[in-house]
Amino acid sequence: MSVSFALLGLLESGPRHGYDLKRSYDEAFGRDRALHYGQVYSTMARLLKNGLVEVESEPGDGPDRKRYAITDAGITDVAEWISRPEQPEPYLQSTLYTKVVLALMTGRDATEVLDTQRAEHLRLMRALTKRKNDGDLADELICDHALFHLEADLRWLELTAARLDRLAAQVRP
């Protein structure tokens, strides 16, 4: 979903060939996963069908003779997408919660479950911290986003560890 809006938004600065569009996307957003050309062209085909882009053809053959330009309807769509808040994802019934409750119900060591998970979380946080400190501002922002989410999980793991006795009293038959 966000790939098509990102491509559309990139066209706002001027018409581009599919190849340029892919390169711009990869530079700005594709740090972990570069786009495939196929994905660019299939997305453009869909946007074209919906009237959000139009094609300026140049003489010759092949897809790279096509320059894509955003339409007024496209600009409106991008504006609407940017201003719309994303649905927050509270993960209310997480896998972790299920594991902890099941461990308590079945007499397994729930502290061990939480500690193993916190070590795993912190391991990933270390890797992201290193990557962020070795990288540029874009790396920093992308890694920080992940780090704050992991930190929230880790705080939950800590709080749950501190409340295991109470939880055990509730869930044990």
Partner 1 sequence: MADQPLLTADDVHLSFGETRALQGASLHVYGGEVLALMGPSGSGKSTLLHCLAGILTPESGSIRYGDRDMATMSDSDRSTLRRGEFGFVFQFGQLVPELTCQENVALPLRLAGAGRREAHRQAASWLDRLEVPDVAAKRPGQVSGGQGQRVAVARALVTRPKVIFADEPTGALDSLNGELVMKLFIAAAKETGAAVVLVTHEPRVAAYSDREAVVRDGRVREQEPAR
Query: Looking only at residues 93 through 132 of this chain, which bind partner 1 when binding is defined by CB under 8 A?
Result: 115, 118-119, 121-122, 125-126, 128-129
| Helix 37-49 vs helix 2-10: crossing angle, to nearest 10 | 80
Total number of residues that touch partner 1 (CB under 8 A): 19
Residue 101 vs 154, nearer CB to partner 1: 154
Between 48 and 161, name the residue whose CB sits nearer to partner 1.
161
Q: How far apart are CA 126 and CA 76, in angstroms?
A: 41
135 near partner 1 (CB under 8 A) = no
* Three-state secondary structure call for residue 54: strand
* Least spacing, CB of residue 55 vs partner 1, in Å: 45
154 touches partner 1 (CB under 8 A): yes
Does residue 136 interact with partner 1 by CB under 8 A? no
**DSSP bridge pairs for 57:** 66
CA distance 83 to 87: 13
Binding to partner 1 by residue 55, rule CB under 8 A? Answer: no
Position 139 contacts partner 1 (CB under 8 A): no
In terms of DSSP H, where are the helices of the chain? 2-10, 18-28, 37-49, 72-83, 95-105, 110-134, 137-162, 164-171
Q: How many CB atoms lie within 10 A of CB 10?
A: 21
- Site residues for partner 1 per CB under 8 A: 115, 118-119, 121-122, 125-126, 128-129, 133, 147-148, 150-151, 154-155, 158, 161-162
